[in-house]
Amino acid sequence: DADVTQTPRNRITKTGKRIMLECSQTKGHDRMYWYRQDPGLGLRLIYYSFDVKDINKGEISDGYSVSRQAQAKFSLSLESAIPNQTALYFCATMGRGSYEQYFGPGTRLTVT
């Protein structure tokens, strides 16, 4: 089984809808991250969390919110989806004392 899972893997939604992307991990890592990837722009950090009570904005947090429900779960919400939020979204984890991030398989989101 994968160490970092994301649901859903693909989602098509309409403008204005609320969407939640979920991430779960079995690695026991305290640090979790949400990125989006767009062609030509690489990975950009949306939010990150160093533990359940510590949540921080990344470089492109506008239009997004997160919830760290437990050490193993980190959800990303789009309160009112817009077409320019169409992208590939990755969740990642990292353990203490390490710089290696482990990524989930990604969620391909399309907002029409």
**Does 100 contact other proteins by CB under 8 A?**
yes
Interactions with other proteins, residue window 58-97 (CB under 8 A): 58, 90, 94
Site string for other proteins, 42-61 (x = CB under 8 A): xxxx--x-x-----x-x---
Strands (E), 8-41: 10-13, 19-25, 31-38
- How far, CA to CA in Å, does 23 sit from each of 34, 40, 41? 9, 25, 23
Strand pairing category for 73-78 and 64-70: antiparallel
Q: Which of 21, 31, 36, 109 binds other proteins (CB under 8 A)?
A: 31
Q: Which residues bind other proteins (CB under 8 A)?
A: 31, 35, 40-45, 48, 50, 56, 58, 90, 94, 99-101, 103-106
